[in-house]
């Protein structure tokens, strides 16, 4: 098995654990913004220590990088903050597994962005896969208690948050891959560690300042939740490191395609840890979206 495939599966597993912790914290004293900050706030010390240790053990100096590295890193970091915020907010609207599945529309949205922005051609089988994914979204968008036309269901808060998170995650993946490729090193782990270190520090500082301005008191709540949140930092760092390293080795769309196993992991988490029940309608929607994102990459 190729290294990038193993890394993608591992990243999906770590990310599922991290979202479980974020959902738990968001159901307590932390707002969506606070739960989002906790992920970056507690990851920062670990990734900084890892970066310094890796450089010290290898006797290496900081490699050169192009100025556009900071553009890619900043855009990717901001997009990930917005994406994570959307997912945490979504947990209050729908169950855990459905929330994760909405997020996984990032693969479909990456294909659509390539068509609209870059003019990338999409084969008929790939177009059929995208339509299949949209059918799955329609099934998942049937929010309980919401009556009215299909358009009203599709434009519900849960659906909008889910699709927005997928779009932002797609943007962040492109930004992160671009950032890692701008570091002058033949060592993929070196590029991943340094890019992740810079991005995580920017995210932790930037979001802390934002919450101090917009949600006074949330920073204190994040610190108070450290016994649980620190594990979010550990799993967040491990997952991001796996994603970043995989991005240095393979196209982001292929990495995300393998990462669809996160949907399966989230189903187990929803049933075993949160006591949630998955309806047949939601199961069909999850299955259709999972099939579609794999097909989009296979036939692109």
Residue 93 belongs to domain spanning? 3-298
Residue 253 reports pLDDT greater than 60 = yes
What CA–CA distances, in Å, run from 256 to 103, 142, 150, 267?
Answer: 11, 26, 29, 18
Number of domains in the chain: 1
Question: What are the pLDDT digits (tens) for 75-127?
Answer: 999 999 998 888 778 767 655 566 666 676 777 776 776 666 545 556 777 67
pTM beyond 0.75, yes or no: yes
Q: Which is more confident, 265 or 167?
A: 167
């Amino acid at each position: 098995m190729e290294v990038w495939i193993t890394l993608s599966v591992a990243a999906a597993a770590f990310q599922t654990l991290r979202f479980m912790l974020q959902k738990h914290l968001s159901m307590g004293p932390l707002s969506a913004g606070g739960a989002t900050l906790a992920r970056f706030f507690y990851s920062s010390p670990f990734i900084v220590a890892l970066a310094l240790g890796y450089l010290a053990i290898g006797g290496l100096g900081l490699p050169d990088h192009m100025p556009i590295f900071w553009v890619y890193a900043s855009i990717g970091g901001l997009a990930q903050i917005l994406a994570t915020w959307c997912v945490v907010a979504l947990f209050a609207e729908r169950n855990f597994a459905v929330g994760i599945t909405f997020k996984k529309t990032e693969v479909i949205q990456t294909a659509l962005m390539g068509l609209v922005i870059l003019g990338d051609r999409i084969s008929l089988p790939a177009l059929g896969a995208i339509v299949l994914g949209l059918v799955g979204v329609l099934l998942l968008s049937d929010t309980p208690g919401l009556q009215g036309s299909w358009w009203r269901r599709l434009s519900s808060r849960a659906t909008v948050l889910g699709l927005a998170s997928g779009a932002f995650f797609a943007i962040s993946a492109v930004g992160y891959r671009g950032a890692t490729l701008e570091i002058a090193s033949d060592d993929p782990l070196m590029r991943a560690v340094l890019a992740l270190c810079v991005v995580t520090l920017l995210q932790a500082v930037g979001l802390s300042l934002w919450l101090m301005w917009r949600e006074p008191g949330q920073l204190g709540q994040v610190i108070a939740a450290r016994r649980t949140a620190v594990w979010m930092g550990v799993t967040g760092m491990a997952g991001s490191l796996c994603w970043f390293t995989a991005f240095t080795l393979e196209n982001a769309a292929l990495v995300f395609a393998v990462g669809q196993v996160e949907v399966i992991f989230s189903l187990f988490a929803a049933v075993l840890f949160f006591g949630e029940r998955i309806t047949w309608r939601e199961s069909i929607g999850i299955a259709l979206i999972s099939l579609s994102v794999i097909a989009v990459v296979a036939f692109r």
